[in-house]
Structure 1
Amino acid sequence: MKKFIRFLSLNRIRRKLILYFMVTTLLMAMACFVSYFNAQMLASGMDAIFENNQYLSDISDNVANVQSTLESFLSTSHSESLKDYFRYSANLRKTGEDIKDMVYDTDSGLLMHDIGNMIITYLGYSDTAVNAKRGRDIEGYTQNYAEASKVYDYINLYINRLTQNQFQENTKGYTIISGRLGYILLINLLIIIATIAFNIIFIIRITFKTTQPIISLARAANDISRGKYDVEQVTVDSDDEIGVMADAFNRMAESIKAQVAAIKEKAELETRLKEQEMQNLLMKSHLKETQLQALQSQINPHFIFNTLNAGAQLAMFEEADRTYLFIECFASLFRYNLRSLDSPVTLREEIENINNYIALLKVRYADRISYSQEVDESVVDIPVPCMVLQPLIENAFIHGISELESGGTITLRVREDDGDYIIEIEDNGVGMSQEKINQILGEDAEDGSPTESVGHTTGIGTRNVMQRLKNFFDYEKVMSIISSKPGGTRVVISIPKICVQRKKECHRA
């Protein structure tokens, strides 16, 4: 019982609904019970009427059966008629004795009592007539049969009179029952109307009180979902679960409002930081461009190209093929180095420039350097920044294998691996320490600082290459360095396909 009371106290809405259904159920049960009681009373009265009529009809039929079997036996002396007479007379005698034993205080009761006495008298005459017939006493059975017939007529007369009396009494009783039934029907109708009116009023009230706060909560939640966080607090007067839900919603709305304000403030701060960072990168880019332009302005490029072309033609006329190839490679290399660092090129162009640079190195160092390529031709058309491979090849030669007397090897690998484009430059030189690798890849070192190595041809360091790759592809983890001392160094450039695709779409746009 305590658990049930606690259950109701913790579930107020459920308690209200349970009480509502209990009240309506009790009202309907009362109306149904009254209707059932009155219907049962009317049915009982009708049953009594029909039972009395049926009882008199059975007596009349039984007396008629005895009279007919008596007449049949007296006229035919047949044994079957005698058996039927004994059977019907026994039933009739029992009925007569039952009627005599009953107590009556009404006119109909007195008539019924007289009928019982006449039945006994009638059976006395009929039995005497049967015995006289069996004893061949013609005068005796004739006289008794005549008396029995008179009593038989009186019995039917009294039965008809009793039927009329009972009909009149039943009519009065039915009138009383009908009048009471009309009154009861009116009461039942009033109860039903009152129950329906109560249910309608109660349903409207409880529906309004239950749904109005929910509608307010729904509107407030819809406003919040649309980005309107300055909603008014939902006020609920009830102390049930809807009130608890409204309080929780109000607290949640305040919390969301505070969190959104904090997120906006943080986003504005990050936007300002990114703008400042972009300005810094733009300033660095302009500075590098200015430095390169200053370096380029020291020499007239057209004069150098014309001079190199003249030297190449002279070597070709003198059939100095190696000299012609050397000058041609140098001119192509110099022309490529004069390109803007911000202009994108294909990886194929970068590899061709590397081939020209290696050709110049082999003329100078002969067998001290060995160069090999493992290039996937399906990858070489991706866009990359200008001058990203030559500085790395220069560093591999200068700081890796130049100190070796022989057997220096540089390998360039280009392949596609698990959704990324991989470019590897590996040498078997002296290697470098982890501290040196951290200085090159670290965020605390500036481009061109003493911790960074630059190429003897380009003047561009590894950090410069890494930073330009990051800016070009908008991807941070673009470069890694693996080295052992001694054992060589491998520089790995990893470019996600999605970054390359985004860059191509940007160029097309």
Structure 2
Amino acid sequence: MKFRSIRTRLIQFMLLATTIPLSLSLIFTLVHTRESVKEQTVNENVRLMYQGKTNLVNYLNGINRASLSVYTDPHFLRNLALRPDDYSIISEIYTTLQTIQVTTPDIYQVYLHNNVTNISTLVTSSVPRREFRAKPYRNIQAFGSGMTAIQPVHALDSYGFPRSPSDYTDRNVFSLYRSIVNVPDSKQLALLAIDVKLDGINAICDQLYENRSEQLYLIDDKGTVIYSHEPNEIGKLIPDHAFMKALKNDDEGYFDDKDAMSIYEKLNLGFASWTLVKQIPHTSLYQQSTQLVLINGAIAILALLAVVLVTLWISIRITKPIKQLTHYINVVQTGQLDVDIQVTSPDEIGILSRRFRQMMDTINNLILREYRLELANKTNQLKALQAQINPHFLYNTLQSIGTLALQHNVPRVYSLLSSLSNIMRYNMRSSEALVTLKDEVNHLKLYLELQKERFGDQLEVKWEIDEDSLSFSVPKMILQPIAENYFKHGMGHYAGVGCLSITTRAIDEHRVTIIIENNGSSLEEEALSKLQEKLGKTARQLELTEDDNSIGLSNVLMRLQLYSDNLSTLTISNLSPHGIQITLDIIALGRETE
């Protein structure tokens, strides 16, 4: 019983209704946040990497343009083929090489080997050095094909010259090699080598990542590291072959592996096939989303505890008045109908308790009223038995007067007396609550025949009777009160012939409509609205008072609704220019079959 109680079920429901949505919310928040963070990070870093690639390309192109300055000097190529002991020629060659060396602050030294004179020259910030050699210190073909090549990061070399005290011995550089030819001839006249410090590349790359949470690499097409967030990796090969394979797919893009998100941009220079790669570990990438999930989880736990406490409080608040109401019901079950129910809570249970108390008061009142009505009915039955002789005496008297009228050749008097007698017999048929519409119409015809005798040519009656409608069962005496209202309140207020129209129609097997119209006076708008509002009520809501001008209509409507379970209606409206229309819509009262 405890596990089937409202309190237990309410707690279970609230826990499920809270835990499931909160869990789903945490999952959806995590997934959505991770995807949003991933998309936002990729977009931001793609733009950042593109800018970094642009800066590197411009930087390397600047070094390359410095190497091309030998072609802008109109005497340099000519000087390469002249006597090597001419000091003016040697000075011009020194000047050109020094111009290249000071073009960019990151150029450390420039090396030139003249294949024509077999002289190698090294220009640094110190005194230039030169000597005769049969071949260049290095071959450009070792680092690439074509007119230009680049050697990845390596230790600074003196190109075979003795080192001076001011030379660095532990500096890393990368070298740009250019084959100097006499265009358009492709024969190499000299080999130019430019050693470049890594400061410029470091300055560009340092701005592209967060040192503590991200990694950045600049590598060549063979996997040699030119720049790395770890200095000891510079100049070494990346051992991850799958990583290098992924970089060969496109010139730019990103891919996600099990540990990190990688975003890359290829420089695609003719002399430097370098790739800029940024790696963002998942721990850094999803750090914010993880923190958000932890915060939401803490909030969810607190919310769950609050729900449990509130659920216990609410369940106690709900079940306590229910138990009180159950106690009162048990008291009522013993026969004590006047129990005093003391439940004052303002919620639905309190409203239910007060309604139950009102219901018990109503039942008590109904029991008393029914008891009194039963006594009144018994008294009325006794009086009716005592008065049964009066109708018979009146019928016999009217019959005698009618016979005398025929003896004196006055058949109209006899007809009127017969109509009056039939009306009285119809009214005295107290044992019949329901009659056919045919009987009700015939009774109305007798009543209107007497009224025509009263008003003569000033009254016109129109009948439009549907034969199929006459077999429907209707409450007794519903038509005469409506017609009688016309003679009481409507007729005589306008000059001319009074007109009363009665129409019946069978709508279907369970519904008949009766329309009664007259050309008397219309109702005032305010009075019509009040009457329509009153006739719109149900049988239980209608209250009949003797001084009510609409008591006849209310009585008819009440009986129609009582017999049809409030399905039948009575409506009233004004006609133009004057008059009243009353419509009876009668539902499911039965039908007489032949």
TM-score by length of 2: 0.37
Higher helix fraction (1 or 2):
1
TM-score by length of 1: 0.42
Higher strand fraction (1 or 2):
2
